[in-house]
């Protein structure tokens, strides 16, 4: 049929690129087939193709994951570059996409034998819009770690509870009874901002949250525009372990009418804030963060925060997680 021939002729003329689906921050072996755990991530390898940003946005909207990564080939003297998109906007940095992209890059560098015993730690750099990110892979633990670019800023004005109620319309006023009137607003870098809502004493409210819109925030001068989300959290306890304060947290992150099964940048913002404000003089902090159980997509993130000698600024942030490769194939990009 002429119509069919014309249709397949058009398909043949389209550009196809390699695509991988990864469950990032999954607590399974990265090479196990493990569905519905961790945070689903699409990584599209675009090679040297110059794809318009609006086209990338359309592809990210089609996947409709919390983030989609577009991985560009390394140019002369430069590391491989990633562009990170949510279904509605591009982000300068996001944690779990960098972890997922790191797992893919290390897998390709080492072939499918990346988990063979006796291998040493591997290192490389990934270029994001927020700057270069040093990532490492530890074969014995099957974990990718990333040194997170940061410019931690606690905004002078907290977010009033009314702004949070607005994005949880299914909740009644009584649901928020005895909750603080304002909540800290923290940017991990310019363009990525979270409200931090402590629900440690409110397990019922924490359990009944539903996906909602991003909150309206009053950011300090020079920090807008920004992606905005809410990190709801419950502190399950902390302890001293050597020279490090160790925390256990349960979190939920909601924005852009989605709930994120694993939010690396939000976890880094939350960890930085707690280390700075409630660290009890400790310089080193490790956060074990569980997320996604309410969605049936359990995720596990580790965040290490080191403060400066005075304990007033964040010196380093490291984010770590495992991943599971779920599927791979081709996608039309033009």
Residue whose C-alpha is closest to residue 245's, from 291, 276, 267, 199: 276
All residues at 6 or more sequence positions from 267 whose CB lies less than 8 Å from its CB, including other chains: 95, 231, 251, 287, 289, 291, 301, 303, 319
Vertex 155: Cα angle to 264 and 237 (nearest 5): 50
Annotation marks residue 17 as catalytic: no
Q: Which of 54, 67, 120, 141 is catalytic?
A: 67
User: Tokens 């080191």 identify what position?
Assistant: 306
Instruction: Dump the DSSP string for 218-261.
Output: -PPTT--S-EEEEEEEEEEEEEEETTEEEEEEEEEEEETTEEES
Helix (H, G, I), strand (E, B) or coil at 33: coil
Catalytic residue set: 67
């Amino acid at each position: 049929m002429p119509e069919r021939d014309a249709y397949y002729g058009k398909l043949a003329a389209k550009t196809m690129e390699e695509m991988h689906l990864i469950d990032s921050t999954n607590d399974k072996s990265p090479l196990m087939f493990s569905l519905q755990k961790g945070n689903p991530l699409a990584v599209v390898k675009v090679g040297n193709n110059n794809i318009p940003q609006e086209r990338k946005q359309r592809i990210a909207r089609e996947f409709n994951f919390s983030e989609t990564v577009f991985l560009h080939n390394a140019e002369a003297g430069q590391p491989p570059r990633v562009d990170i998109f949510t279904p509605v906007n591009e982000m300068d940095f996001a944690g779990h996409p960098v972890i997922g992209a790191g797992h893919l890059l290390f897998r390709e560098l080492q072939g499918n034998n990346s988990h063979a015993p006796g291998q040493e730690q591997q290192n490389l750099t990934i270029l994001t819009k927020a700057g270069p990110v040093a990532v490492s892979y530890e074969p014995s633990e099957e974990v990718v770690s990333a040194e997170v670019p940061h410019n931690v800023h606690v905004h002078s004005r907290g977010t009033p509870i009314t702004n949070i109620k607005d994005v949880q319309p299914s909740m009644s006023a009584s649901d928020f009874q005895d909750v603080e009137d304002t909540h800290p607003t923290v940017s991990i870098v310019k363009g990525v901002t979270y409200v931090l809502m402590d629900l440690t004493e409110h397990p019922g409210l924490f359990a009944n949250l539903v996906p909602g819109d991003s909150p309206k925030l009053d950011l300090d001068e020079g920090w807008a525009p920004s992606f905005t989300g809410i990190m709801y959290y419950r502190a399950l306890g902390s302890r001293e372990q050597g020279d490090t304060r160790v925390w256990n947290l349960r979190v939920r992150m909601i924005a852009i009418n989605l709930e994120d099964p694993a939010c690396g940048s939000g976890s880094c913002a939350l960890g930085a804030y707690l280390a700075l404000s409630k660290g009890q003089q400790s310089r080193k902090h490790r956060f074990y963060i569980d997320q996604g159980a309410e969605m049936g997509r359990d995720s596990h993130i580790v965040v290490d925060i080191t403060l400066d000698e005075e304990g007033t600024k964040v010196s380093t942030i490291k984010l770590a997680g495992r991943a599971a490769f779920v599927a791979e194939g081709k996608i039309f990009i033009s």
